[in-house]
Amino acid sequence: MVEVVGTAPTSAMVITKPVYRHSWKTNIINIKVVTRNSTSLFKMKLTKEQKQEIADQQSQKNVTKRVTSSELEKILFEAIPVLDYGFIRVVDYMGDDSSIVQSARVSYGKGTKKISTDEGLIKYLMRHWHTTPFEMCEIKYHVKLPIFIARQWIRHRTANVNEYSARYSILDKEFYLPEKENLSAQSTSNRQGRGDLITGTQADEVLQILKDDATRTYSNYEKMLNERFDGTIIDEKKTGLARELARMNLTLNSYTQWYWKTDLLNLLNFLFLRADSHAQYEIRVYAEAMLETVKKWVPMTHSAFLDYRVGAVNISSKGKKIIQLMVKGKKVTYESSGLSKREWNELMTTFEFEDKII
């Protein structure tokens, strides 16, 4: 298990200041992110030292006999912005599409088959749930994210994780504040979902509360530590509280960071759930950014994943029989289907039979 912001001594993550610490005296750089449907402009704050460190990492020239992904190499180490202060970075990886094919055939290596045959094999593996060959590829991300999203993320217990330790270091003075278009009320039909958008003065009030609470608790955090986020001492006559105790007062929208390493199979399982439209927005945007890195890393697998997982449907045996009867022109009603109301509506929604939803 990992700590909320650093509890176990063995999980302490010693992070150097230039790369990970945020300074309020930073330059704001505009980063253009192209999505499937639109081009969005994000503002992410990086210090000159952070930008230089990324540039140094990207300028490395290493000779290797192992397979590499040319498109992923182009963005290796790059900080891809997510939310207001968050990001993901691919910092390491092993294997590519050919590694999946090689392990499936238990062959000597590349060149034994045509590319088209390799693509067909990957599609076959994905289609028939032959999953172990996908475990032969691994990837490591550096992720900066709000603590409340980290706690949701860590439910996927199929990765190696090392988190920034607030027992060792002082957390950055950064808090996630949602945009107004993502400020929704509680859903009336789903206990863990969002409903209609909150607008007007109520939205302004909510955002002000979030900002005030985060700012106040961080100020008290510094006061208890007797140390500011930049390392300066507040009162030379006082002794600061231990960092492992002072952190308990922070709000869950504070940012943490971790290294997250997993194999391709478990990454796809994560993305299948978290890039889904029903996933919470704040974790979904991380998943969508990671999905784009998968496209650059293993394009054949990415295509098969979209076709046979993301774009596919999974129905029960009862649901299958109902669709078969409908295709034959038979009349099937909710009352005669043997399904619950929720099952019936989900099935009709899946096949876009909107007029049959009850």
User: Where does residue 281 fall: left (phi above 0), alpha (psi -120 to 50 degrees), or beta otherwise?
Assistant: alpha
Domain that holds residue 192: 181-241
Write the pLDDT tens digit of every residue in 214-264. Answer: 999 999 999 999 999 888 999 999 999 999 999 999 999 999 999 999 999
Domain-located, residue 4 = no
Shared domain for 80 and 209, answered yes or no, is no
Shared domain for 196 and 297, answered yes or no, is no
What pLDDT does residue 23 have?
Answer: 35
Active site residues: 274
Shared domain for 49 and 132, answered yes or no, is yes
58: domain CATH number is 3.30.1360.170
Shared domain for 104 and 192, answered yes or no, is no
Domain-located, residue 79 = yes
Domain-located, residue 216 = yes
- How many structural domains comprise the chain? 3
**Cβ contact 281:248 at 8 Å:** no
pTM above threshold 0.95: no
Q: Which of 241, 273, 289 is the last residue of a domain?
A: 241
Average pLDDT over residues 342-350: 94
- Amino acid identity at 249: N
Average pLDDT over residues 24-53: 52
Shared domain for 62 and 148, answered yes or no, is yes
> Token pair of 242, please?
């231990």
- Amino acid identity at 355: D
